A and B are shown apart, each in its own frame.
Chain A
């Protein structure tokens, strides 16, 4: 990983990458494996960024494994999180914290 690397693509078939550090809106998101794209919105460390357009109902693929279903179309460079993803199993996204 170089100093410029700020996201990781865990498997080459993934449609999301994970931010290794906070990525600001309009900042370039860069992976050590090569692909890069502009972050359309802020992607906080540990959060996911869409590497391509993801259609509503499509699986979110991380490390080659489906980890959720898109509940809305997600554009490339956008944050992929509970506002546009649901579980294939239990959903607890109404939990309160803080």
Chain B
């Protein structure tokens, strides 16, 4: 077992208590650019401190977006974040004062740098770095408190699935999810477009019939949206590694959710109201607008982090190397061939199940050990390698109906 920890060995699980009662497993200082024009300055500010807890995030668009604002605010007030530096060019339409106020109101240290007002690139970088250095020193000295599974919000996502994903690593995540749910954790899975074909089974797991109908409608919406778009969430990499259809991929993706009842349907930025298992609706509401709803794995991961995930369990068949800027990522792989090639990047090899040397339960046990390890402030592989991917673009959502979150 990696790093010798097990779900029972939780003595070192400690985190950072925030004013809203949530606890973070990291105490990151976020540097956030509010338009692409401020990206370089923000990157230069953060770059020397990126191994010391400074994390770069941002939104490239200049036009206003309620969705992007909601995600950025959720990131800047995320439990893993202790302080925030906002970097604005000055003329973009992002509501930077509202964001600054929200971060300050959350009890976090915050600063706004407006490049057009502070004298340009050089002075903005100097001023930003001075603030960042002091703020990081305070972040490192912050006290910690014990945390339990009931404090944790955990998301799972798959990408680059292959013909073994649904047999090895994804069922192991499902088994780990069942156990984490029983321990009181809040859990979420995503990609309604990757549940096409599983909607009837999904609806039967809902805690109320009304939620069941909402879950089916969310999958039907994904099917309609992708038909209109003309491109589904199924492509070359899946085919190369043995999956023949979208519904076959769905069957494997669905295995990550385990077997427990579905407590609700949430949209990006909405936080689950209580512990349980939730599905995230990752597809836009309304007509096709702004293109593909999720341009890559990182955007979906980012949406789950915006809904409060402390960490993400990300499985692939083809192999991925990514992390995330605000929440650490545990990576699992479905086959030993890819694990052997990418062992420095991948935390859990599920290929041992296909090899006949481990069971689904054995691999679930190793996933749980990784969760405990991350919650004990031990970095995952992508985190150690400095990965801090972040992606956010334009989308539109309407508020969820009352049936989506039964009381």
Q: Which A residues contact B (CB, under 8 angstroms)? A: 1-3, 5, 8, 10, 18-21, 44-48, 60, 62-63, 65-68, 80-82, 85-93, 95-98
Q: Check B246 against A46 for contact (C-beta < 8 Å).
A: no
Q: Check A89 against B197 for contact (C-beta < 8 Å).
A: yes
Other A-B pairs beyond A46-B243, A68-B247, 5, CB < 8 Å? A5-B356, A18-B242, A89-B245, A89-B246, A98-B240
With contacts A2-B356, A67-B197 taken as known, whether A96 is within 8 angstroms of B247 at the C-beta atoms is no
Within 8 A of A (CB), among B327-341: 334-335, 337
- Which residues in B have their C-beta under 8 angstroms from that of A18? 163-164, 167, 242
Q: How far is the CB of B216 from chain A (nearest CB, A)?
A: 14
Q: Check B167 against A92 for contact (C-beta < 8 Å).
A: no
With contacts A18-B163, A95-B235, A96-B236 taken as known, whether A86 is within 8 angstroms of B251 at the C-beta atoms is no
- Which residues in A have their C-beta under 8 angstroms from that of B354? 8, 20-21, 45
* 5 CB < 8 A contacts A-B: A2-B356, A19-B163, A20-B354, A65-B247, A65-B251
Q: Check B244 against A92 for contact (C-beta < 8 Å).
A: no
Q: Check A95 against B164 for contact (C-beta < 8 Å).
A: no
Query: How far is B72's CA from A66's CA once the two chains are assembled, in angstroms?
Result: 41
Query: How far is B163's CA from A91's CA once the two chains are assembled, in angstroms?
Result: 17
In the A-B complex, the 10 residue pairs with the smallest Cβ-Cβ separation, listed nearest first, are A97-B236, A46-B163, A1-B356, A46-B242, A67-B248, A90-B232, A87-B245, A47-B242, A68-B245, A95-B236
B237 on the interface (CB 8 Å rule)?
A: yes
Q: How large is the interface on B (under 10, 10 to 19, 20 to 34, 35 or more residues)?
A: 20 to 34
CB < 8 Å: which of A45, A66, A85, A87 contacts B163?
A45
Q: Which B residues contact A (CB, under 8 angstroms)? A: 162-164, 166-167, 196-197, 223, 226-227, 231-232, 234-237, 239-248, 251, 317, 334-335, 337, 354-356
Q: Check A63 against B239 for contact (C-beta < 8 Å).
A: no
Query: How far is B247's CA from A86's CA once the two chains are assembled, in angstroms?
Result: 10
- Which residues in B have their C-beta under 8 angstroms from that of A2? 356
Query: How far is B78's CA from A7's CA once the two chains are assembled, in angstroms?
Result: 45
Query: How far is B92's CA from A6's CA once the two chains are assembled, in angstroms?
Result: 58
Q: How far is the CB of A3 from chain B (nearest CB, A)?
A: 7
Q: Check B167 against A10 for contact (C-beta < 8 Å).
A: yes
Q: Check A44 against B242 for contact (C-beta < 8 Å).
A: yes
Q: Check A8 against B167 for contact (C-beta < 8 Å).
A: yes
Q: Check A98 against B166 for contact (C-beta < 8 Å).
A: no
Q: Check B232 against A62 for contact (C-beta < 8 Å).
A: no
Q: Check B244 against A3 for contact (C-beta < 8 Å).
A: no
With contacts A18-B167, A48-B163 taken as known, whether A82 is within 8 angstroms of B248 at the C-beta atoms is no
- Which residues in B have their C-beta under 8 angstroms from that of A5? 356
Q: Check A67 against B242 for contact (C-beta < 8 Å).
A: no
